[in-house]
Amino acid sequence: IAKVHPTEIILNDLDFIEKLKNIATVSNIYINENFDNNYLDAEILKEYFSEAYLQRLNFDDNGLIKSSLSILLNYIYNTQKQVTSNINSINIYNSQEYMVLDMFTRNNLELTATIRGNSKKGSLLHVLDKTSTAMGGRMLRKYVEEPLVNKNRIEKRLNVIEELKEDFMLREDLIDILKNVYDIERICGKIAFEKVTPKEMIHLKNSIEKLPKLKDTINLSSAQILKNYINNMDDLNDIYSLIDSSILEEPSITIKDGNIIKSEFNDELNSLRDISKNGAFMIKEIENREKEKTGVKSLKIGFNKVFGYYIEITKANLANAKIDDSYVRKQTLSNAERYITSELKEIEDKILNAEDKIKSLEYEIFVEIRNNIYDNIDRIQSVAKIIANVDVFVSLATVAYINNYVKPRINEQNKLDIKNGRHPVVESIVGEENFVPNDTYLNQGENIINIITGPNMAGKSTYMRQTAVIALMAHIGSFVPAEYANIPILDRIFTRVGASDDLAQGQSTFMVEMTEVSQILKNATDKSLVILDEIGRGTSTYDGISLAWSIVEYIQANIKCKTLFATHYHELVELEDEFSDVKNYSVAVKENNDGIVFLRKIIEGGADKSYGIYVAELAKLPEKVIYRSREILKDLEKNHIQQDLSSNKILTGEDTREAKYSDKANDSINDKLKLDYDKLTEELERKNDEYNLNIGRLKSEINKLKRENKELKKGKNEDEVAVTQITFDNIHDDELTKEIKNLDILNMTPLDAMNALYKLQLKVKK
C-alpha cells in the first residue's frame, strides 16, 4: 500500500477493513466496501485475455490472484461500461525482485515527496528528475519506488547510464528528440476508453514520427548497450501512415464538430465538402440556365426558411415565360409567382444537409481509425515503455554528469563502503562546494554497527539519511553522490528517524517509536540496512539508556544487520570495547572564544559533550532563558552529592544476567559498565537538563531550596541567606541520613544506584 499509494481500495473482508481504516484515514485512501461480489462475471478474464495466455499464467495455483483480477476488471467494467483493451497483459509483482521499503522509510528518506508539505520539490525524485517526457517522469518514480535487488539488472542499468554520461552530444541529441514526444501512454488509455481527441491523434502521429530519428541517433553512437535495448523497437509505420493520411493537422477539438478528416481520405466526404463549399455557385449556375430556358431575364432564385430554395418570376413577365411541367407553383404573391423544380430541391437537400452529413461522416471515419489503432494498442504501449526507459536513462546520466556522481560497485559480500558521500538533496540546495562529505564503512565481521554521538544540529541525521539514500540510489541503477561507493545487495532499508505523535491511531511519540523499532527487529535480516536515530529519547533517561543499549546488543547478537545508530546516550560508546563489530563515531566540533562550530565531519571516537545550551542559543531562545540555564547548569554541576566510587566495579544485576542475549553481551555489561557515583549523578542531571529542561519546574525547585535554607539558618537576615544546594553537612542525623549510610555502594549496579538516587530525591521533595 505504501508503494502503490492507491486512491481507492476495493475490499469486502470486514476484519481486514478494520485493520486498514487507520492507514486509509492517514493516507487519504477511500475504502470501497460496498462492491457486491455476488454479481461478478466469472468469465470476464476471457474477455480481456486469450485462453492460452491465461493458461501460461497458471492462475489455478493461486486462486486469490484470479479472484482479485476478476473483481478489479468487473469493477472497471461496471464504472466504465465497456471492456478496455489497453489492459492487455498481467505482470505478477515478485517481491523477491525488489527492495522492500515500508511507509516510514519512504517518508523519512523523502523519496518522492517531502515530509513537510508533501511536495515533490525537496525530494530525491526532484533531484533525479531531468526527464523530457511525462512517461519518463512516471517511469523514474517507479524506479525510485521499486529499487532492484538483482545484481545483473542493476549493473545493466548502470552500464547504460555510464554510456550516456560519457557521451555529452548523444545525451543532448536524445533530449532534443524526447522533448517533442507526447504522453503516448495516456493517449493509449484515452483510445481504449474512447476519450481520445483528434488533436491527441496528431500528437501520437508526431511522436511516432520521432522514432526513426531516435533509433538512428542511438545507432550512430558508440552506446552499444543502448543500441541493443532499442534494436527491436517497433517503428509503428502503419499507425503513422494511417493518421497522417486521414486526420487534418489542425483538427477540431471535439470529434462531433467536423473539420477532422482530410477530404481526400474519403470520396463521399470529398463530394459533400465540394457541395458545401460551392453551393452558392451551383445555385447561380441553375439560375442562369433557367433564365435562358424561360427567356425571362429578371428570373431569380431566392431562399426562405419556409420553402427553401425557389424560382421567382414577376407577373409582368409571366405571360411570355416559357414554363414547362417541371415548374411547380409553390406561392403566389401580388406581383410574382414562385416555383420549385425537382433539380432545385435536390441541390437544396445536398446544400442544406451537407454540413450535418459531413460531421456525421467524419465522426464515423474517426471512430473507424480509432478502432484500428485500438487493435494495435499493445504495440504502441511497448514502444512507449522503451521511450520512457530511455528518457530515465538520459535523465539519470544528466544528473550524474551535472552533480559529479560516480558509478557504484555492486557486491554480494555484504560490504558497504562509501568515500566522501554526500546527501543529494541537501547538496542540491547548498551546492557541492558547501557540503561536507563523509565516509561510511559497514562490513560483515568487521563492523556492522556504528554508534554515532554528537550534539544536535551537527548533522548526524543528514549523514545517516545520506547513507541510506546512496544505497537506495545504487539499487535503482543510478550513479551516486560520492567519490567512491561499493554497495551490497540489500533486501530492505529501515529508518527510525524523528518522532511525532500518531493522533489518528491514538499513539504517543514513544509508542510510535517503539512500534517502529519492533517492526525493524522482527523483519530485518543480515542483508538489511538499519538507520536508528535517538532511540529512547521519548521516555526517561534511565529507560532510554536501557532500551538503546539492549537494542544495540540484540542487533549485534541476533540480526547482524548493517546499522547506523545515532544517540545522545554517551554511555553506549562503551559497547565498542565489548564487541569487535561495533564502532564509535562522532561529529567533529571546534570550540573557540565565540562558541562552537559544527564541522559536519564524521570522525572516529565517541563525543564527550552535547552542547545542549549552545544549540538552544542557536535556536534563538530568549537571552534570559539561556543565561539562566547556564547558571542552573553550573549550580547543578558544583553541588551534586559527592561520593567517590571510582575504584569500584558495578555489575548489571540479576535482570541483566537473565537476559536472553549472547554470553558475550552479558559479559560486556557485567565487566564494563563502570561508572563512579560522581559521574553517574552528573550524567543524570546533565541529561535531565539537556533533554527535559523545564524552566518552571527548575525555578520551583530552587525556590523550595531557598525556603529550606531559610529554615536551616533561622535567625539570619533574609537578605544574607545564600541559596545553597542541600549537602551532607546540612542533613541531620535522621532517617534520611541513616538510609544513605546504609547503602551498599560497593556492590551496587548502575541501575541500583539510579533507583536509590531517585528514591532519595522523592523523599527530599516531600
Q: What percentage of the chain carries pLDDT values higher than 70?
A: 76
Together in a domain, 495 and 573: yes
The predicted structure's pLDDT at residue 395: 98
Torsion of CA 319, 320, 325, 328, to 10 degrees: -50
Residue 321: closest CA among 301, 288, 292, 289: 292
Together in a domain, 440 and 572: yes
Together in a domain, 558 and 433: yes
The predicted structure's pLDDT at residue 660: 35
Alpha carbons within 13 A on the beta-carbon side of 261: 28
Mean pLDDT (the chain, rounded) = 81
Q: Are 725 and 627 in contact (CB under 8 A)?
A: no
CATH of the domain at 312: 1.10.1420.10
Q: Are 481 and 422 in contact (CB under 8 A)?
A: yes
E strand segments, 514-636: 529-533, 562-566, 582-592, 595-604
Q: Are 123 and 429 in contact (CB under 8 A)?
A: no
Q: Is 328 helix (H, G, I), strand (E, B) or coil?
A: strand
Please give the Cα distance from 520 to 318 (Å, whole number). Answer: 105
Please give the Cα distance from 56 to 196 (Å, whole number). Answer: 33
Q: Is 432 helix (H, G, I), strand (E, B) or coil?
A: helix
Domain of 571, in residue numbers:
404-613
Q: What is the mean pLDDT of residues 122-138?
A: 97
How deeply is 115 buried, as exposed, middle or buried, from its count of CB atoms within 10 A (0-12, 13-18, 19+)? Answer: middle
Please give the Cα distance from 707 to 99 (Å, whole number). Answer: 63
Domain assignment present for residue 674? The answer is yes
Q: What is the pLDDT of residues 373-414, one digit of tens each?
A: 999 999 999 999 999 999 999 999 999 999 999 999 999 999
Residue 531: closest CA among 584, 579, 460, 458: 460
- Say if strands 300-304 and 8-10 run parallel, antiparallel, or are unpaired: unpaired
Together in a domain, 549 and 696: no
Least confidently predicted of 150-154, 198-202, 524-528, 684-688: 684-688
The predicted structure's pLDDT at residue 59: 67
Domain assignment present for residue 149? The answer is no
Specify the DSSP class assigned to residue 259. -
Q: What is the pLDDT of residues 292-306, one digit of tens each?
A: 999 999 999 999 888
How deeply is 132 buried, as exposed, middle or buried, from its count of CB atoms within 10 A (0-12, 13-18, 19+)? Answer: buried
Confidence of residue 630 (pLDDT cuts 50, 70, 90): confident
Residue 674: closest CA among 690, 705, 651: 651
Using only C-alpha atoms, the chain has a radius of gyration, in whole angstroms, of 41
Q: What is the pLDDT of residues 550-601, one digit of tens each?
A: 999 999 999 999 999 999 888 899 999 999 999 999 998 887 776 777 788 9
List alpha helices for 524-611, DSSP H: 541-554, 575-578
Together in a domain, 420 and 367: no
**At 10, which helix (H) or strand (E)?**
strand 8-10
Specify the DSSP class assigned to residue 263. G
Residue 46 has pLDDT above 90, yes or no: no
What is the total count of domains within the chain?
3
Domain assignment present for residue 732? The answer is yes
**What's the distance, Cα to Cα, between the start and end of the chain in Å?**
53
Q: Are 463 and 577 in contact (CB under 8 A)?
A: no
Domain assignment present for residue 511? The answer is yes
Domain stops at, among 329, 350, 371: 371
Together in a domain, 359 and 408: no
Confidence of residue 76 (pLDDT cuts 50, 70, 90): confident
Residue 241: closest CA among 204, 189, 295, 266: 204
Confidence of residue 489 (pLDDT cuts 50, 70, 90): very high
Together in a domain, 606 and 667: no
Together in a domain, 408 and 361: no
Together in a domain, 432 and 561: yes
Beta bridge partners of 308: 304
The predicted structure's pLDDT at residue 88: 66
Q: Which residues contact 70 (CB under 8 A, 6 or more apart)?
A: 40, 41, 42, 44, 45
The predicted structure's pLDDT at residue 753: 67
Please give the Cα distance from 19 to 8 (Å, whole number). Answer: 15
Q: Which residues contact 330 (CB under 8 A, 6 or more apart)?
A: 307, 310, 338, 339, 340
Residue 328 backbone dihedrals phi, psi, to 5 degrees? -115, 120
Whole-model pTM: value is: 0.73
Please report, as a single letter, which amino acid is at residue 72.
L
Residue 708 has pLDDT above 70, yes or no: no
Confidence of residue 527 (pLDDT cuts 50, 70, 90): very high
Domain assignment present for residue 62? The answer is no
Alpha carbons within 13 A on the beta-carbon side of 248: 13
Q: C-alpha cell of 477?
A: 541503477
DSSP 453-519: E--TTSSHHHHHHHHHHHHHHHHTT--BSSSEEEEE--SBEEEE-----BGGGTB-HHHHHHHHHHH
CATH of the domain at 509: 3.40.50.300
Residue 43 has pLDDT above 90, yes or no: no
Q: Which residues contact 27 (CB under 8 A, 6 or more apart)?
A: 1, 5
Domain assignment present for residue 342? The answer is yes
Q: What percentage of the chain carries pLDDT values higher than 90?
A: 50
Domain assignment present for residue 105? The answer is no
Please give the Cα distance from 162 to 478 (Å, whole number). Answer: 9
The predicted structure's pLDDT at residue 653: 32
The predicted structure's pLDDT at residue 722: 36
Please report, as a single letter, which amino acid is at residue 537.
R
Together in a domain, 445 and 360: no
Together in a domain, 338 and 447: no
Q: What is the mean pLDDT of residues 430-450?
A: 92
Please report, as a single letter, which amino acid is at residue 93.
Y
Together in a domain, 419 and 518: yes
- Say if strands 484-488 and 409-411 run parallel, antiparallel, or are unpaired: parallel
Domain assignment present for residue 508? The answer is yes
Q: Is the pLDDT higher at 758 or at 409?
A: 409
Residue listed under C-alpha cell 539510579: 754
Q: C-alpha cell of 391?
A: 528518457
How deeply is 437 buried, as exposed, middle or buried, from its count of CB atoms within 10 A (0-12, 13-18, 19+)? Answer: buried
Q: Is residue 61 left, alpha or beta, with left meaning phi > 0 and alpha meaning psi from -120 to 50? A: alpha
Please give the Cα distance from 365 to 245 (Å, whole number). Answer: 12
Q: What is the pLDDT of residues 352-374, one digit of tens each?
A: 888 889 999 999 999 999 999 99
Beta bridge partners of 529: 493, 562
